Amino acid sequence: MRPEELDLRDLTAPDDVEQCIALQRATWGDDFRELVPPAVLQIAQKVGGLAVGAFDDDGALVGFVFGITGVREGRLTHWSHMLAVREDRRDAGVGRILKQHQRQRLLELGVGSVLWTFDPLVARNAHLNLNRLRVRVLEYVEGMYGESPASKTDSVIGTDRIIVEWVIAGEGHPAAAPGLPPVTPVVSSGAVGAEPDLADAPVVLVEVPPDIQSLKIDQPKVAVAWRASTRRAFTHYLGLGYRIAAFERSPDRSRCYYMVQRAEPAGA
C-alpha cells in the first residue's frame, strides 16, 4: 500500500487512540515517561490541536502526528510535538504524507508556522526536515528534555535538540544555494576524546553518523563522542550567526553532513 493510499483520520475512536498509545511505546520504549495519554490526545483536538493517524487497509495504524496550537508573538502557531512511523514503514514516505496533511489542516485554521524539535544526530529526520520540508533552524538546545532520558531513543547520548520552524503560509523558506565552494572544510569527529577543528570559512560541513541508533548499541562511546563533537560545532557556528542551510548525503548514504553557511551582511 503506497503512502498516498493510506487512510488519514483524526484519532477520536477508542481503538484508534489505543493504537496510538501502542505506537508511542513501540517507538520510544515501554518506560517512556512523556507518553501523551488518551485524554490529552482528544482534548487538544477541541482547541485547535491535531492528532491524526495514517491507517492501512486492515485498519492498522502505521504512523501518527500530534501537536497543539497556541499563540506565539501575537500569531497563531502550532507546536508539532510527536511524529512516529511504524518501524516496518519507515523511509517509505509516510512521515512526509502526515506532515503535508498537517500543513493543509493548519492552513485552514489560519496557522502560518509550525515549530518542533529533532535530534540533529538522527540523519533520517534531518533529511526530511531540511531537504523535504525546508524548515528553518532557530536554535540548538543542549539537554532540552533533561539529563535523564525519557525514552530509549535518547539513551546514551542525552536530549540535545534543534528547534525548527516550518513556515506553511506564503513561500516559506528558500532552498539552499546549489553547489559548494571548491574547498569546504568538514567538521568531523567520532573519535573518543577528540575535538574537531572549527574552521573559519563561509561554508562548513558538520558531519553526523548515518545511523546513530546502531552506534548507541554497538559503540556507545563513539555515539557519545559524536554528540560532544557536533554539540561543540553547532553551538560555535550558530553562536557566530551562521545558519544551517541544508543536509547533504553521499550517494551511498555512508556519510552525512549539515551544510552551515555564514550569514551575509545586511544589504549584501
How much is the pLDDT for 36? 96
Residue carrying the nine cell digits 508573538: 73
At 224-253, the pLDDT tens digits run 999 999 999 999 999 999 999 999 998 998
pTM for this entry: 0.85
CA–CA gap between residue 17 and residue 251 (Å, rounded): 39
At 130-141, the pLDDT tens digits run 998 899 999 999
Question: Strands 203-208 and 186-187: what pairing?
Answer: parallel
CATH class of 3-167: alpha beta
10 Å CB burial of residue 163 (0-12, 13-18, 19+) is: middle
Enumerate residues 6+ apart whose C-beta is below 8 A from 230: 120, 121, 206, 208
Element (H, E) at 94: helix 94-109
User: What residue ranges do the domains of the chain occupy?
Assistant: 3-167, 186-261
CA–CA gap between residue 246 and residue 261 (Å, rounded): 9
At 167-219, the pLDDT tens digits run 998 765 555 555 666 668 888 877 776 777 899 999 999 999 999 989 998 99
Enumerate residues 6+ apart whose C-beta is below 8 A from 250: 256
